[in-house]
Amino acid sequence: MKKRQVIILGGGPAGSTTALHLLQAGIQPLIIERHAFPRYHIGESLSGECRGAIRDLGLESEMLAQDYPVKHGVNVFNPHGVPFWVEVKRRCPETNVLIPTSTWSVTRSTYDNVLLEAARQRGAEYMECEAISPIQEGDRITGLQIRTDGGVLENLHCDVLVDCSGQATFLASRGFTGRKVKGGYANQIAVYSQLADVVRDSGTEPSKVPGNTLIFYKAKNHWAWMIPVSETETSLGVVTSAAYFKEKRLDKAEFLRTELLNLNPDLTRRITNTDFLDEVRTNTSYSYSANDYTGKGFLCVGDAHEFTDPIFSFGVFLSMREGEFAAQAIGKYLGADSRSNGNPFADYEMINRQGQDAVRDLIDCFWEYPLVFTRMASGVNQDDITDLFAGRLYGHIVENNKSRQSMRRLMTARRAENAPPPRTEAMQAGAFAESLAAPSLSR
Ligand SMILES: Cc1cc2nc3c(=O)[nH]c(=O)nc-3n(C[C@H](O)[C@H](O)[C@H](O)COP(=O)(O)OP(=O)(O)OC[C@H]3O[C@@H](n4cnc5c(N)ncnc54)[C@H](O)[C@@H]3O)c2cc1C
């Protein structure tokens, strides 16, 4: 069997994007995927910078052909029905001014298929089969054992194995990375399905267009999403603690039904029926991370090494951006005249840290300081929050984002103290003012 330069395990957004960027660099990878596409996947709301990532891959016209609902931003409703609004905006490259733009809410089966098909049409090799285990020689991963359709085990060899296996965390679960640890939202459960005839916003101003993502919350870590995925179908999901779900002793459809009608008044008024169009599904234990997820002959991308929480829709974007970074790192490694004996992908892991940390602090900060967060998102910090929500999470732009710095300080201190969250708006505002006044944070 011939040796490949790069094998990509997983044909989701991380795998396809890595492949597409490698192909742009003249490297032809092999993608291994166990499911026939199009296949179901949760995760429909795309962040603003996802559109940029799609444009960079030359796939905007394919996206327009899908006729997905157009998303101009996200409205987050508190238990009293007071929303804060974060609009999708991009930075003008010449002036750095924020300009309103849009992105999409997608059906993941077709979206993931658009990416995978593009990779295949542009020259990626593809095998539909199950990856069984990595092949290791000394301190290096040198390939992948697969089981073919006919049940035969085969060894495939490569210079670089890219783990894009999503929540299956192929390498992390087999101990090839640092220890996989639970994330801050590991004890949560997501219960979701789709409904027709949900009352959507209707207006022409960006905050009122029907394609927007709506988030409703009842209390800390107890919230729901509403994401239009077609003209008539809307994805609805409830996220809460697994203990609360268990306490209710309802089957998952009944649980979802009850929650949709009781979680938040602004959500309830939009539900006209609870005849689910699709199976009611659940996800648990979705929050985790693993360090040291790169090494000799391998690197992990996207959910394969970390996922925090879905509330602000960063998952697909992080997977795609990390796919781009991974392709750059692999291109550099394969093109190098000589190779040192260290980990060739250590810098890639460091860049990723910036984005993943920003997402985690943003979400933690929202739950710890919801009142102040709302004020920030609507007041003087609006541009900072707009940048973060869009996905401008790397390099100078995030290093100079004052709200990001402030969140990092606050959350680092709070995690160390392990103290209960400040309850009143005055207490939250005090903590925030203090952290904003603190000297700039060096990373
Ligand atoms: C409840 C919930 C809601 C979410 N909502 C959003 C949202 O609104 N917006 C958003 O951006 N993100 C959302 N996400 C996150 C998003 O779905 C993921 O971050 C994203 O799919 C990650 O892409 P990926 O390519 O890393 O992994 P995946 O998309 O999971 O792809 C991994 C692929 O690897 C394949 N694979 C795995 N193991 C093997 C094996 N052994 N052999 C062969 N193939 C294998 C799988 O079949 C799969 O196709 C949500 C997540 C959850 C849990």
Ligand 1 touching residue 35 (CB < 6 A): yes
Q: For ligand 1, say whether the CB of 104 is within 6 Å of any of its atoms.
A: no
Note the pLDDT tens digit of each residue in 15-31. Answer: 999 999 999 999 999 99
Distance in Å, CA 110 to ligand 1 centroid: 14
Per-residue confidence band for 443, with pLDDT thresholds at 50, 70 and 90: very low
Predicted confidence (pLDDT) per residue in 387-424, tens digit? 999 999 999 999 999 999 989 988 888 887 776 666 66
Cβ contacts of 221 within 8 Å, gap of 6 or more: 185, 188, 239, 240, 241, 367
Is residue 124 predicted with pLDDT exceeding 70? Answer: yes
Element housing 268 (H / E): helix 265-268
CA distance 240 to 250: 14
- Mean pLDDT on 337-344: 84
Q: How far is CA 423 from the centre of its chain?
A: 29
* CB distance 270 to ligand 1 below 6 Å: no
Mean pLDDT, residues 254-264: 98
Distance CA 10, CA 165 (A): 5
pLDDT at residue 176 greater than cutoff 50 = yes
Q: How confident is the model at residue 440 (pLDDT cuts 50, 70, 90)?
A: very low
Q: Is the peptide bond before 310 cis (omega within 30 degrees of 0)?
A: no
Q: Which domains does the chain have, with CATH numbers?
A: 4-69+107-183+290-335 (3.50.50.60), 188-284 (3.30.9.100), 367-437 (no CATH)
The CA distance from 128 to 37, in Å, is 9
Contact 173, 303 (CB under 8 A): no
| Ligand 1 atom at shortest distance from the alpha carbon of 14 | 25
Predicted structure pTM score = 0.95
Query: Given a cut of 90, is residue 81 above it in pLDDT?
Result: no
Taking the centre of ligand 1 as the mean of its atom positions, its distance from the CA of residue 195, in whole angstroms, is 22
Residue 249: phi, psi to the nearest 5? 50, 40
- Please give the distance, rounded to the nearest whole angstrom, from the Cα atom of residue 167 to the centre of ligand 1: 6
Atom of ligand 1 nearest to the CA of 303: 26
Q: Which helix (H) or strand (E) holds 8?
A: strand 4-9
Q: Are 335 and 285 in contact (CB under 8 A)?
A: no
Q: pLDDT tens for residues 285-296?
A: 999 999 999 999
In 3D space, the residue among 58, 41, 54 whose CA is nearest the CA of residue 103 turns out to be 54
**Which among 319, 320, 393 is the best mutation to test ligand 1's pocket, defined by most ligand atoms within 8 Å of the CB?**
319
Residue 436: pLDDT over 80: no
Question: Tens digit of pLDDT for each residue in 297-324?
Answer: 999 999 999 999 999 999 999 999 999 9
Give 376-437 as a 3 state SS string: HHHCCCHHHHHHHHHCCCCCHHHHCCHHHHHHHHHHHHHHHHCCCCCCCHHHHHHHHHHHHH
Share of the chain above pLDDT 70, in %: 94
Q: Is 315 in the pocket of ligand 1 (CB under 6 A)?
A: yes
Indicate if ligand 1 lies below 6 Å from the C-beta of 130: yes
pLDDT of res. 149: 84
